[in-house]
């Protein structure tokens, strides 16, 4: 007899666990317990600097190994009135995979097979738990690659990338995840399995349901198989740095890339505060080279011509441009992904706003007034090729305060920055999704009629609100 039974308080989730273990003994289950606390959170909601609380338990967690098992688990959960949280690798930054101890998490960790690679069709068929980097390692010998490369590519799953419509560094040239997903198999809330999309590059029969599921944050269905578009690995890649004398000059300089004939695969922008953060965290000397940086990757044929044209365009815009040797390039990309760090003893909010790229300079120009008004500090790195910024707003934490709880002035500054992005024709989230953390901000962007459509789609696919309730909109 479990402790819960002994206490006479058998909860729906515990009855579900008993049913699943009796009917499907082959499916690995972890009971809602202290051992599953990590499944309460994603990367954004994991408590920081907090002592583990022994009274807190996590959700029931199921580890299916094929689509039929996912179907069976969803059916059983719906029958027991237990809501389901789909989960990939838990690297999300919006709280989308967070779960309570009353919920069932279906993790795709064991649904991780690469089922097929077809060089002639330029597709790979994969299960959702495949880690993004593992797919590209597997593809390397075929001369093909899967383009969407979130900075979390080493730790995030293809299913999570699809459910968040993840962006990444190379999206400047190759598009976000949606542009690389051709077809999906999805388990719906009633346990049925639906195939949507086409293996061919073209296909317009019926509504574009594939695009509907991409970016739907596990609210409409659980992706159990994906047919992905691949591209040839470029014949050459080269990294360029363009250093400017100020954030304003660098942000304005981005337009020179857009107006040039060159289409870099990656265009990342670092403002002065971000370069200072990286130097402090990583011991580098980027600020010695300038006060703002555009870090660029070009690829494909004619690499030297591309580098020359871009150098000329950026030099005219006031930059000091260097074609970086491979070893330095590697370090710079590593710094972009992991070099920023978070200031100790501070509360922070990370944002994911996006604006039409011509408006990037206006967003950076707005920081100073927000800093003065709210007493916060703002730095922002941007996937500048697609107008997507990650502002980091920080404020010193009071001694002994829980640093994961943002004080009101930090929250107000962040909301004001969201309003500025919206006023500039932008959006609350460029790539991380809404999850639980950005629902208030999404309400600033989505009109009531727009929300009605979201609710109607949810009701059509999941009338009992079984899948990931309270997330995404
Ligand atoms: C250091 C770091 C860097 C990052 N950089 C980027 C970046 O450059 N670009 C970017 O876009 N994101 C980035 N992220 C955020 C995160 O990695 C992405 O959102 C990623 O796509 C989440 O994948 P995951 O497998 O971890 O999904 P999870 O966090 O497990 O889940 C994310 C959402 O997807 C749903 N979900 C997961 N699997 C499925 C499935 N099979 N079917 C249906 N729904 C599912 C979940 O319910 C949840 O709503 C970064 C995160 C970190 C920690």
pLDDT in tens, the chain (473 residues): 444 444 456 899 999 999 999 999 999 999 999 999 999 999 999 887 667 788 899 999 999 999 999 999 999 999 999 999 999 999 999 999 999 999 999 999 999 999 999 999 999 999 999 999 999 999 999 999 999 999 999 999 999 999 999 999 999 999 999 999 999 999 999 999 999 999 999 999 999 999 999 999 999 999 999 999 999 999 999 999 999 999 999 999 999 999 999 999 999 999 999 999 999 999 999 999 999 999 999 999 999 999 999 999 999 999 999 999 999 999 999 999 888 877 788 899 999 999 999 999 999 999 999 999 999 999 999 999 999 999 999 999 887 777 778 899 999 999 999 999 999 999 999 999 999 999 999 999 999 999 999 999 999 999 999 999 999 99
At 338 the pLDDT is 86
Between CA 272 and CA 281, with CA 275 as vertex, the angle to 5 degrees is 140
| Ligand 1 atom nearest to CA at 338 | 1
CATH topology for 346-448 is Alpha-Beta Plaits (3.30.70)
Residue nearest to atom 37 of ligand 1 (CA): 160
Residue nearest to atom 1 of ligand 1 (CA): 152
Ligand 1 pocket: which residues have CB below 6 Å?
42-43, 85-93, 96-97, 108, 128, 150-152, 156-157, 159-161, 163-164, 166-168, 217-218, 222-223, 431-432, 435, 468, 471
CA of 130 to the centre of ligand 1 (A): 12
CATH code, 3-107? 3.30.43.10
At 59 the pLDDT is 98
At 8 the pLDDT is 54
Which 3 state secondary structure label does DSSP give 177? helix
| Ligand 1 atom nearest to CA at 472 | 49
HSE, CB side, 13 Å, CA atoms: give it for residue 305.
6
Residue nearest to atom 52 of ligand 1 (CA): 152
| Ligand 1 atom nearest to CA at 44 | 53
CA of 242 to the centre of ligand 1 (A): 31
Options 3.30.465.10, 3.30.300.30, 3.10.180.10, 3.40.50.300; which CATH number does 114-232 get? 3.30.465.10
Task: Give dist(CA 91, CA 392) in Å, integer.
Answer: 18
Which of 44, 84, 93 is the best mutation target for the ligand 1 pocket, counting ligand atoms within 8 Å of the beta carbon and taking the most? Answer: 93
At 400 the pLDDT is 74
CA of 233 to the centre of ligand 1 (A): 24
At 343 the pLDDT is 74
CA of 105 to the centre of ligand 1 (A): 15
Bridge partners, residue 196, by sequence: 184
Residue nearest to atom 19 of ligand 1 (CA): 92
Q: Dihedral of the CA atoms 47, 50, 53, 57 (nearest 10)? A: 10
CB 349 within 8 A of CB 410: yes
At 401 the pLDDT is 75
Return the structure tokens found at 43: 């990367």
CA of 315 to the centre of ligand 1 (A): 37
CA of 33 to the centre of ligand 1 (A): 24
CA of 90 to the centre of ligand 1 (A): 6
At 1 the pLDDT is 46
Phi, psi of 28 (to 5 degrees): -70, 130
Q: Do you know the residue count of the chain?
A: 473
CB 23 within 8 A of CB 76: yes
Residue nearest to atom 44 of ligand 1 (CA): 218
- 239 torsion bin: left (phi>0), alpha (psi -120 to 50), beta (else): beta
What number of other Cβ atoms are within 10 A of residue 232's Cβ?
12
Question: What's the Cα-to-Cα distance from 111 to each of 16, 63, 154, 221, rounded to whole Å?
Answer: 21, 8, 17, 16
Residue nearest to atom 9 of ligand 1 (CA): 150
CA of 45 to the centre of ligand 1 (A): 13
Q: Where are the domains of the chain?
A: 3-107, 114-232, 237-338, 346-448
At 341 the pLDDT is 77
Q: 346-448: same fold as 237-338?
A: yes
CA of 171 to the centre of ligand 1 (A): 16
- 337 torsion bin: left (phi>0), alpha (psi -120 to 50), beta (else): alpha
At 143 the pLDDT is 97
Report CA 256 to chain centroid distance, whole Å: 28
CA of 398 to the centre of ligand 1 (A): 31
Which strands sit side by side in the sheet containing 266-270, from one edge to the other? 320-324, 237-244, 292-299, 266-270, 377-383, 388-396, 346-350
CA of 57 to the centre of ligand 1 (A): 23
| Ligand 1 atom nearest to CA at 92 | 29
CA of 152 to the centre of ligand 1 (A): 8
First to last CA, the chain: 40
At 50 the pLDDT is 67
At 110 the pLDDT is 98
Task: Give dist(CA 115, CA 118) in Å, integer.
Answer: 10
| Ligand 1 atom nearest to CA at 96 | 49
CATH code, 237-338? 3.30.70.2190
Say which residue the tokens 């005219």 belong to.
316
Which of 91, 161, 354, 430 is the best mutation target for the ligand 1 pocket, counting ligand atoms within 8 Å of the beta carbon and taking the most? Answer: 91
Task: Give dist(CA 63, CA 418) in Å, integer.
Answer: 38
pTM, two decimal places: 0.95
């Amino acid at each position: 007899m479990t402790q819960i039974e002994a206490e006479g308080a058998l909860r729906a989730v515990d009855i579900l666990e008993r049913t699943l273990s009796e009917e499907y003994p082959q499916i690995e289950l972890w009971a809602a317990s202290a051992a599953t606390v990590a499944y309460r959170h994603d990367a954004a909601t994991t408590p920081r600097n907090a002592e583990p609380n022994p009274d807190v338990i996590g959700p029931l967690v199921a580890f299916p190994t094929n689509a039929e098992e996912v179907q069976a688990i969803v059916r059983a959960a719906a029958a027991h009135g237990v809501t389901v949280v789909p989960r990939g690798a838990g690297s999300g930054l919006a709280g989308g995979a967070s779960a309570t101890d009353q919920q069932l998490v279906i993790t795709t960790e064991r649904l991780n097979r690469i089922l097929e690679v077809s060089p002639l069709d330029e597709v790979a068929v994969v299960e959702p738990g495949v880690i993004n980097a593992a797919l590209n390692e597997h593809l390397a010998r075929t001369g093909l690659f899967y383009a969407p490369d979130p900075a979390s590519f080493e730790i995030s799953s293809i299913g999570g990338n699809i459910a968040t419509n993840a962006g990444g560094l190379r999206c400047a040239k190759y598009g976000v995840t949606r542009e690389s997903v051709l077809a999906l198999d999805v388990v719906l809330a009633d346990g049925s399995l639906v195939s949507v999309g086409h293996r061919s590059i073209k296909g317009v029969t019926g509504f574009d349901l594939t695009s509907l599921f991409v970016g739907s944050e596990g609210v409409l269905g659980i992706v159990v198989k994906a047919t992905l578009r691949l591209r040839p690995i470029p014949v050459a890649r080269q990294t360029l740095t363009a250093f400017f004398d100020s954030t304003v000059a660098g942000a304005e300089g981005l337009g020179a890339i857009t107006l040039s004939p060159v289409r870099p695969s990656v265009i990342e922008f670092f403002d002065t505060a971000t370069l200072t953060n990286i130097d402090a965290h990583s011991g580098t000397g980027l600020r010695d080279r300038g006060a703002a940086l555009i870090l660029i990757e070009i690829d494909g044929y004619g690499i030297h011509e591309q580098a020359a044209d871009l150098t000329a365009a950026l030099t005219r815009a006031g930059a000091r441009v260097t074609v970086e040797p491979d070893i330095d390039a590697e370090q710079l990309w590593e710094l972009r992904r992991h070099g920023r760090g978070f200031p100790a003893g501070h509360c922070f909010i990370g944002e994911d706003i996006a604006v039409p790229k011509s408006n990037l300079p206006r967003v950076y120009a707005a920081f100073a007034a927000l800093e003065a008004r709210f007493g916060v500090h703002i730095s922002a790195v941007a996937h500048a090729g697609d107008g997507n910024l990650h502002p980091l707003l920080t404020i010193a934490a009071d001694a002994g305060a829980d640093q994961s709880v943002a004080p009101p002035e930090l929250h107000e500054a962040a909301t004001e920055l969201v309003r500025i992005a919206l006023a500039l024709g932008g959006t609350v989230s460029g790539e991380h999704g809404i999850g639980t953390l950005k629902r208030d901000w999404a309400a600033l962007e989505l009109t009531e009629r727009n929300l009605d459509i979201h609710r109607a789609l949810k009701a059509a696919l999941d009338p009992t609100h079984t899948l990931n309730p309270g997330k995404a909109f």
